Amino acid sequence: MDFQNRVGSKHRGGGLASASESNVDRRERLRKLAMETIDIAKDPYFMKNHLGSYECKLCLTLHTSEGSYLAHTQGKKHQTNLARRAAKEAKEANLVQVAVGPAKPIIQPRRNIIKIGRPGYRVTKVRDPVTRQLGLLFQVQYPQIGEEVKPRHRFMGAYEQKIEPPNNNYQYLIIAAEPYESVAFKIQSLKVDETPGKFWTHWDPDAKQYSLQFFYKNEKDAMFGGMGGAPLTAPPPVASA
């Protein structure tokens, strides 16, 4: 800049530059620096319009030359808009990631296992010597069960099964273990006491025997012959799952 020919300055004197002159000098220095360090051809926001001037697609500004555009890219407005655009893209990426979520597990097709028949079983009536609660002990034998297979059980309501007409007085205990058929025992529909020590299961891998014992809650003592049903002796399986 010419520091000696300003209005009001002495001949060959330095003098202070005005604010507008400082801005012009700053923009010129930024333009030269940008032209040396930035490849304008790779700028996604640089566009030359049909009038021969240049536009910034990010800030929607118009420039007369490439140097003017490059000086604009170093300014506060362009840098602020760049930061906003980066924050917006990061937010959208997070939303897409949340919407997509983790990959769904691949469901393996059910294996075709040949059933070898129903297992042997024994049902015993039991009574708690302290609380006098009535219960049942189921012992099911699986002599040819697989090495890594452990029997499972679940209780089924009367309306879940499709073998017999539904009866609210009864429920079903299902015990299953491959390659044997699943067996269902028809028991009275009373509340089972699930407190520790009242309900337990045990699998003996040496004897190949699965044991399950439970007690009914002491709401009614008419377990055997009560509620209009027949007493529970060793009940045969009534349904196969």
Contact 73, 38 (CB under 8 A): yes
pLDDT in tens, the chain (241 residues): 555 555 555 555 555 667 777 777 777 777 777 666 677 778 888 888 888 888 998 898 888 888 788 778 878 888 898 989 888 888 888 876 655 556 666 666 556 667 788 899 999 999 999 889 999 999 999 998 888 889 999 998 888 888 888 888 899 999 998 888 888 899 998 899 988 888 989 999 889 999 999 999 886 444 444 333 333 334 445 544 4
Q: For the chain, state the CA radius of gyration.
A: 43
pLDDT of amino acid 215: 93
pLDDT of residue 219: 64
Looking from the CA of 144 toward its CB, the CA atoms found within 13 Å total 10
Q: What is the pLDDT of residue 60?
A: 87
**pLDDT score of 179:** 86
Report how far apart, in Å, the C-alpha atoms of 156 and of each of 55, 62, 185, 210, 226 are. 73, 75, 10, 19, 20
Cis peptide before 179 (omega within 30 of 0): yes
β-strand pairing of 200-204 with 209-216: antiparallel
pLDDT value of position 26: 74
Token couple for 179: 């390659």
pLDDT at 57: 86
- Please tell me the distance from the alpha carbon of residue 42 to that of residue 163, in angstroms, as a whole number: 73
pTM for the predicted model, two decimal places: 0.46
Backbone φ and ψ for 94, nearest 5 degrees, come out as -65, -40
